[in-house]
Amino acid sequence: MTIQGKMTEKEFKLEPDCELRFEVEGKKETVDLKLLSGKAEVFGTELAPDKPYTFFSGAKAAVYTWHGCTLKLTGNTEGTYIAKETPMVMYLNTHACLERLRKHADEGLNRGEDTRGPVTMIVGPGDVGKSTLCRILLNYAVRMGRRPIFVDLDVGQGSIAIPGTIGAILVERAASVGEGFSQEAPLVYNFGHLVPLANLTFYNILVSRMAATVQDKMVGNRKAASGVIINTCGWVKDEGYKSLTHVAQAFEVDVIIVLDQERLYNELVRDIPFIKIVFLPKSGGVVERTPPMRISARDDRIREYYYGLHTKYHPHSFEVKMSHLTIYKIGAPALPDSCMPADMKVDDHMTKLVPVEPGVKLKHHMLAVSLATEPKDLLTSNVAGFICVLDVDDENKMVKVLSPQPKPLPKTILILTEIQFMDSN
C-alpha cells in the first residue's frame, strides 16, 4: 500500500470468478478505481483499461472478474475485501436463459408473428440486491445488442425520477459505472408515497397503467424481442404479496426471479403455477441499509434529480403567484362506515381528487407536474417532472419553487405528494 499525500492507493490482484467489494466512507470522499490488467466489470458494465472511474460518498460497489485482473483503488474505502464466493455464475446462467427466450421471440417476429421477448420480474425482501440484479441483467442484455425496457416499481427508492414514483426507460447503453443508466425520455407516473400500502388501490391502478403503456410500446416493435426487466418493492408479505401477484398479472410476466427468500418462492410456485419461477441466492456483498441510510439515499436521489451527480445541472428557483397554481391531492381520508353513502366503496376514497389550497403546509413538499389537462385524467397521466416548494409567503400570496426548468411553470395541474425535500445547495 502507498500513501500519496493524504490519499491512499492500493492494488488488488483478483483470481478468476472473484470480486473486490468496497464502500466509500466519509461525507465528501471520492474513490477512484482503475483496471490495471485483465478484464473486470461493475454490476455488468465492462471496465476500460487504465481509465479512472470515480465513486462518490455512500457508494457500495463490487468489481467482478471472470478471468482474473489487477485493480487499483485510490482514496479511502471501508470494508474492502476480495470475495471468492459470488452468485455471478448463476446470474449469468439466468441471463443465458433470458437470451434464449429473446432468440425465440426474434424467430417469431421474423415469421411475422405478434410476439415479444421475456418479461421478467425480480422480487424479494429488502436489501437482497434486486436493483443490482436488474442492472446486471440489463447490462448483459445490452452487451448482446439488445434494447430491453427497465421498469422500476419500487416507490421507496425510485431509481427513475424520484422516490414516490414508478418509471420506465428504454435501455440502449450499458449503465455508466458511477452514474447508472442514462435517463433520457423516462416514462414516469407519480404515486406520491414511499410505500404502496399508503394507497394500494392507486398503486395497483398505476401498475396496470404502466403495464398497458409498456405493452403498447412493444406491439409490432423489433425491440420487443429484448423484453422487459421489472424491479419491485421489498414488501413481500400479506398485501405486499398480493400486490406482487397483481404486477405479474398486469405485465403478463413470463419469468419471476425470487432473490433469497424460499418462502416467497414456494408461495409463488403454489399460486402462479403457469409462470416460470426461479430461485436465486443473494450476493454476500449486498449491503443492508438502516432506516437513516435509506432516508439519506432518498434525499440524495432528489438532489441528483435537480443538480445531477456532480452538480452538473443548474435548477431554477422562482416565485409563482398562488392564484396561478392548480393543485390536487389524490385520495381522501376514509369516512367511518356509518357515514359512507350506500353506493360508495372504500376504493372511491383512495382515488378521489381533493383540491388543495396553496399555503404554508406545502413547504418542502414535492409537487408533480402532471401532463393531464383535465382533472379527470390526473390519476393515470404520466408526469413531466417535479417542483419542490422552497417557501410560502402567505401574506403576499406567493410560493417560491425549485424547478428543473426555467419559469414560467407550464399551465398544468400539480399533484401534492407526501415526499419532502430540504434544499441545502
Measured from the Cβ of residue 237, the count of other Cβ atoms closer than 10 Å reads 11
Whether 19 has a binding-site annotation, put simply, is yes
In the range 211-270, which residues lie near ligand ATP by CB under 6 A? Answer: 234
Q: In angstroms, give the least distance from the CB of 126 to ligand ATP.
A: 3
Candidate list 12, 14, 18, 21; residue touching ligand ATP; CB under 6 A: 21
- Tell me if 167 contacts ligand ATP by CB under 6 A: no
Residues ≥6 apart with Cβ < 8 Å to 218? 116, 149, 224, 228
Contact region for ligand ATP (CB under 6 A) — 32-40, 44-52, 278-286, 358-366?
A: 278-286
- Tell me if 62 contacts ligand ATP by CB under 6 A: yes
Give the nearest residue (CB) to ligand ATP: 285
- Tell me if 286 contacts ligand ATP by CB under 6 A: yes
Q: In angstroms, give the least distance from the CB of 207 to ligand ATP.
A: 16
- Tell me if 283 contacts ligand ATP by CB under 6 A: yes
Phi and psi (nearest 5°) for 360? -60, -25
- Residue 212 near residue 165, CB atoms below 8 Å: no
- Judged by beta carbon, residue 10 or residue 352, the one nearer ligand ATP is 10
Whether 129 has a binding-site annotation, put simply, is yes
Candidate list 89, 96, 212, 287; residue touching ligand ATP; CB under 6 A: 287
Q: In angstroms, give the least distance from the CB of 72 to ligand ATP.
A: 18
- Tell me if 298 contacts ligand ATP by CB under 6 A: no
Candidate list 25, 127, 304, 423; residue touching ligand ATP; CB under 6 A: 127
- Tell me if 132 contacts ligand ATP by CB under 6 A: yes
Candidate list 45, 77, 157, 199; residue touching ligand ATP; CB under 6 A: 157
Q: In angstroms, give the least distance from the CB of 258 to ligand ATP.
A: 12
- Judged by beta carbon, residue 34 or residue 130, the one nearer ligand ATP is 130
Whether 131 has a binding-site annotation, put simply, is yes
Binding mask 370-409 for ligand ATP (x = CB under 6 A): ----------------------------------------
Whether 130 has a binding-site annotation, put simply, is yes
- Tell me if 131 contacts ligand ATP by CB under 6 A: yes
Candidate list 108, 126, 186, 404; residue touching ligand ATP; CB under 6 A: 126
Count of residues that bind ligand ATP according to CB under 6 A: 19
- Tell me if 60 contacts ligand ATP by CB under 6 A: yes
Q: Which residues bind ligand ATP (CB under 6 A)?
A: 21, 60-62, 126-132, 154, 156-157, 234, 283, 285-287
Annotated binding site for ATP: 19, 60, 127-132
